[in-house]
Amino acid sequence: MSIVNRFIAKTIRWFLIVSGLLTCATLVFAIDINFFTLMLGGLVDYTSSSVPALRHWGFTIFGIGALMVAAGFRPWLRFETMLLAATEKAFLAYLFLSNLGQPWVMGYLVLVMVDALIVAYMIVYFVSEEGRPFSWSRDTVGKVGLRH
């Protein structure tokens, strides 16, 4: 376990900054929806009725990326930020896998592969001691409680 703890301790900051900046790339969808089809290899299109939702999605995911970058500099933000980001990225992988029969799904392949690598690292983080901010302990009167 000490190898995992050392690995996370040495890489967590740059992992959060780099993967956060990659995640921030969805801001271009919020600014100009025409990048949506371009960035997804021309395989994924949108309709005028889906534009508001896609732009909102782009801005929301940008926010998660910005939190990841901030967590690279603020360790107290890491656990919750990584929990949110891992859930979002794992859900994208689920959506990809549940739509494998669709002709447009391969447009998401690169995004899903990047997100899968990020989630794999996050799982290692949660297994490490740094990924468990609270531990169960017994206080002086014998009651079970949380401590930092």
Whether the predicted pLDDT of 100 surpasses 50: yes
> pTM of the prediction?
0.84
- Looking at residue 133, what is its pLDDT? 64
For 96, the enclosing helix (H) or strand (E) is: helix 78-98
- Looking at residue 138, what is its pLDDT? 40
Count the Cβ atoms, other than its own, within 10 Å of residue 112. 19
User: CA 13 to CA 75: how far, in whole Å?
Assistant: 9
Whether the predicted pLDDT of 45 surpasses 90: no
